[in-house]
Amino acid sequence: MNVEITRLASGLTVVTETMPHLESVALGVWIKSGSRNETDDEHGIAHLLEHMAFKGTARRSARDIAEEIENVGGELNAATSTETTSYYARVLRDNVPLAVDILADILTESAFDEEELRREKHVILQEIGAANDTPDDVVFDKFSEVAYRGQTLGRPILGTPDTVKGFTPGQIRNYLSRNYTTDRMFVVAAGAVDHATFVKQVEERFASLPMTPSAPPVLEAARYIGGDVRETRDLMDAQVLLGFEGKAYHMRDFYCSQILANILGGGMSSRLFQEVRERRGLCYSVYAFHWGFSDTGIFGIHAATGGNELPTLVPVIIDELRKSSETIHQQEIDRARAQIRAQLLMGQESPAARAGQIARQMMLYGRPIPNPEMMERLEGITTERLTDLAGRLFFDTVPTLSAVGPIEQLAPLNDITTALATPGIQTKKAAG
């Protein structure tokens, strides 16, 4: 792993991985701040700021930003999550100085023009409307809301129509000055990049970033609550999400949870896919996932099926969860590890994937994690650890259930909770 790290006097961290066989470079700025860092009256502002960064600076109009990067065949984009925000580009090696200049410009000199803000609010309102019209988006948003009720972690990243309409340029600048500071920002590049040259370019162009926040960043501690949320809609299929409190990135069972999710529903060979979809034909989509955050996590099973299949589907899923707490085969662990190893190695062939991976590891662990070390962590996972984890995850915590669509035949949460707690029991709807 040809990774070099420099921490500038300003506190900004610059990381590169040279991939000399390439002609392109993926580079970006990752900020350890997202929707969780919003105050109550800022719901949605992290995402709005990400949009507004591209809408003009002191030196460039919104059109100039788009044209300058595309005139050289490059790409420019951004993304907001619950705990991070990123702004990234991909260009040919000779155009790295231009990409650095544009990224620095939009992050240090954004104009936040009133007219541009009005237009972008309208765009985001359309985005919110589109998300509300997409059942598989709605089921996840509602799931988070009930799992972390009344908390920033449970709020939709996009905000609400009311909050978005009310934002002012001053509020955007306040969020920016509080969260976009050098101690929380990482500039990362992977590909045909020279570390020393890149560091000099970043140091020159990002010199105006504030070193300390205008006020302490907001980060409310997560409290997993769990519960039930349903929305009946006249749709062809039902979206169902059953989940439990998972593990944070730094917890001992984090990697164990990743392996368990892979075994249960990580691909066509997984238990849920084989039993629910292939053997029984109860749904067209089913998978398991584990999301880690800085202080909590979510382990979930998502299925999309017809409403008439729900009375049979849910008990089968519960039965597979129970089986995972009783027996895990070594072959399943080996297959999950092989899939993770392949993902890691394939990611090394993509500069964009490597830049993102390095940035995430820097934010979470303070250093890049070499692939051999990552695989070594996975080697210590045994069948006994996995069955023990499954028992604690699925049967010792309050579940969260989110459902959207023709869900009249979906059993009450109390019945599902009882079925999880009692071996062999069927839910009332299933028995009927």
Q: How many CB atoms lie within 10 A of CB 408?
A: 12
For 297, the enclosing helix (H) or strand (E) is: strand 297-305
Instruction: Tell me the backbone φ, ψ of residue 71, rounded to 5 degrees.
Output: -65, -25
Q: Which of 225, 227, 142, 145 is nearest to 413 (CA)?
A: 227
Which residue's entry shows tokens 């019945």?
415
Q: Using CA atoms, how far apart are residues 6 and 201, in angstroms rounded to an integer?
A: 13
**Contact by Cβ (8 Å): 237, 304:** yes
Q: Using CA atoms, how far apart are residues 281 and 361, in angstroms rounded to an integer?
A: 39
Pairing of strands 24-31, 85-92: antiparallel
Q: Using CA atoms, how far apart are residues 18 and 358, in angstroms rounded to an integer?
A: 12
Report which residue type is found at 98: L
275 is catalytic: no
Strand order of the β-sheet with 238-245 is 227-232, 400-405, 238-245, 297-305, 285-292
Cα dist from 43 to 87, 141, 235, whole Å: 20, 14, 30
In the chain, how long is the greatest CA-to-CA distance? 70
| The pair of three-digit structure tokens given for residue 110, joined into one six-digit string | 């954004």
Cα dist from 240 to 185, 260, 310, 405, whole Å: 37, 20, 9, 9
**Contact by Cβ (8 Å): 191, 182:** no
Is residue 291 helix, strand or coil?
Answer: strand
Instruction: Tell me the backbone φ, ψ of residue 403, rounded to 5 degrees.
Output: -145, 140
For 231, the enclosing helix (H) or strand (E) is: strand 227-232
| From 38, 50, 120, 309, active-site residue | 50
Pairing of strands 400-405, 227-232: parallel
Is residue 366 helix, strand or coil?
Answer: coil
The residues annotated with a catalytic role in the active site are 50
